[in-house]
Amino acid sequence: MSSTSLPLDVLMEILSRLPPKSLLRFRCVSKTWLTLIGNHDFFSTNLLNHSILTTQNPTHPLPLILVKATDKSNAEKFVFYSLSYDTLDCVSQIPMNLPLAPVHFLNRSTYYIKLVASSNGLLCLFDFQTRDVYLWNPTTPHVGFKAIPPLSPPPFSVGFGFDPNSSDFKVVSVRHVVNGSGTAALIAEVYSVSRGSWRLLDLRVPDGIFARSQTLALGGIFLWSAEQGGGQIISFDFTDEVFRTTPVPYSRDRLCFSHQLMELNGHVAMAIFPRHFSNIKMSLEIWVSLEFGVTESWTRFVSIEIPMDLGRPLGFWKKGKLFMENSEGQLVLYDPFTQTKNYLQIEGFKESFEVVLHTQSSVAISAGQDNL
């Protein structure tokens, strides 16, 4: 019996059990399969969404969800909350005691600690004011932070990840330097935690990385959302230490729309939403790359309107549910398919939230400039 003679519901059930990459390849099997898989209609969207959402995350045991927020009682302090991935119950609350220079909260654009990435139990933090880079294991917060040796001039953007080939944690920095002819140039350097030193990379850094670029850590790759070329993603692989670029599905005016990188079950996802809105609801589109680096693999995961009291998306939980912050500085779990909200009893200043998956580790880290 050919696939075209199968009842539609049976064919849909069979295809829905395939991984996303297989679905993309099977579009060429027949016109029927191309119609089901290759178009943004009801059946195609639901088929791909089911496949994306049921892709199993190979992380065992289940990671924690780490939430960073600004302490509402003290604007110059940050707090980390560890949530159970399975239940979202708060496991612990960890204060972050970095030696930050006091800055008035109203001037917060120059006073912001970015959670760069979580990798194999370690966190990388970047101070936008001093341009200092720190490593920290929140599982053993009493041990303190490790300050990475500074660069001069300091970097304006950094990435963090783990190289499985060398079993080494690495930090990549991007900074401006003035060459012998007096012109500015972009350079990249890699800090090896095992060696405790920086090393200049002899390669061209793609244009489009800025201090406030949206970023994402995915496995041993670090990503920046860039504006050049009509919109693209710049990636850095910590194994071969090479930059690569890949187009985004489409890019809207960056002055009016935000482009937020996220991870969905091991896939690169991009949320596109307006920076400012005056209607009752805000539009939100989320696209997913089913095979990163392949332009044709981008598919629209969901296009919805969300309540105006919700702000930017922060990351995914189970079944496509989104962590978001609301206008009151509360962390909210939002289901884009049922349009329901669940308040998670975590508060902080608006736009101070960051959410990452984090695996607990016994990796020891020493304060100051010492090596791991």
Query: Looking at the DSSP assignment, which residues form a beta bridge with residue 284?
Result: 304
pLDDT at residue 72, as a whole number: 74
Q: Give the pLDDT score at 351.
A: 80
Looking at CATH, the fold of the domain delimited by 64-358 is given as Neuraminidase (2.120.10)
Position 150 scores a pLDDT of 92
Please state the φ and ψ torsions of residue 201, each to the nearest 5 degrees.
-95, 130
- Residue 257: name the closest of 237, 235, 277, 239 by CA: 277
pLDDT tens-digit map of 287-336: 888 888 777 778 888 788 887 788 888 999 988 889 998 888 899 999 88
pLDDT at 243 over 90: yes
Q: Which residues contact 148 (CB under 8 A, 6 or more apart)?
A: 132, 133, 134, 135, 171, 191
DSSP states along 148-161: PPP-SSPPSEEEEE
Q: Which of 314, 324, 329 is nearest to 260 (CA)?
A: 314
Listed by start position, the domains of the chain span 3-54, 64-358
What integer pLDDT is reported at residue 148 of this predicted model?
92
Looking at mean pLDDT, say which of 94-98, 105-109, 130-134, 169-173 comes out highest.
169-173
